[in-house]
Structure 1
């Protein structure tokens, strides 16, 4: 079974003024990676509750983050041939992805779609307990973009198997 490419974004908070701070990708071959994003000077919104979730400080982003243009280029290089990538939080992730590309002065070479479009009714019913079982089983660190993207991909794969669709 070919796995869908899955993207996850961690952000400075939610809603107005928030911006992407980490982009993670789970590739069709099952490998995953992530990049921290250096915030622009005008990106000042910072929600301490979001930091508690992902554990990434603004100081760390400034130290270790990659420039927007580099992250946007990496995403285009990774996803351009696939043409499509999926997210479980399409509303948020699409907004943050658009912000990233806009400020990088680039256009995405791929489309972001809602993961839900790929799921059967049976997979949707199995999703939450399967995801929780995988977190427990594999000791996955949550709210880091690369790990979350891979968790979504593994959950997709296992729910297909459980639903007899693999």
Structure 2
């Protein structure tokens, strides 16, 4: 019988997940897109127009996420607007990242530059993964990847992918 992760009764609450795309992994890199899916499935996503002195760019990173500098100039929102919208969307919540080690510094850079405190908490996804879920994470990831058919490396889609993988791992682990 195939796994039907989407129809199981919620034994555990889905976590809010955040993903950040950036200009690379260099210390001068900066966030260019943020995507969030909350525990109810509501989503937020925005491109971020770079601040004037944010000028580091990696063509290798662009090849992965597909966001060009022209896209940011045309469709990006100012950083202050993005942080205000994130604060409103996530107020008082803990949001989880599977790339916390890079996502947190990028968000700190964005909020610091906007001179706005974060009114939500960011935590590594591993903090809420039960041991049985970790054991079947790769299997859950492969199962969910079939549904996404290569639609990845944009922040909102990646956040949803991670949340669905979490849900599927919980199902597989019987949590």
TM-score, normalised by the number of residues in structure 1: 0.95
Q: Which runs of 5+ in 1 are unaligned?
A: none
Question: Which is worse superposed, 109-118 or 123-132?
Answer: 123-132
Superposition map of 1:41-60 within 5 A:
41-60=52-71
Distance 1:47 1:127 in 2: 30
Alpha-carbon displacement from aligned partner over 1:44-97 (angstroms, at most 9, x marks no partner): 110001000000001110110000011000110011132x11000111000000
1:27-48 Cα offsets, whole Å, 9 max, x none, are: 1112323100000111111000
From 102, 105, 123, the counterpart of 1:113: 123
Match of 1:153 among 129, 143, 163: 163
Matched, 1:123 2:133: yes
Conserved? CA contact 2:44–2:89, under 8 Å: no
Taking the aligned partners of 2:38 and 2:150, their CA distance within structure 1 comes to 17
Q: Is the 1:140–1:147 Cα contact (8 Å) retained in structure 2? A: no
CA deviations 1:140-162 (Å, max 9, x no partner) are 51110000000010011110111
TM-score (norm 2): 0.90
Aligned match of 2:83 = 72
Divergent runs of 4+, >4 A = none
CA contact (8 A) 2:92 2:121 kept: no
Structure 2: how far apart are the matches of 1:105 and 1:143? 28
Q: In the comparison of the two structures, how many residue pairs are matched?
A: 164
Structure 2 unaligned blocks of 5 or more = 1-9
Please state how far the C-alpha of 1:135 moved relative to its aligned partner: 1.4
Question: Do the aligned residues in 1 keep the contact of 2:35 with 2:159 (CA within 8 Å)?
Answer: yes
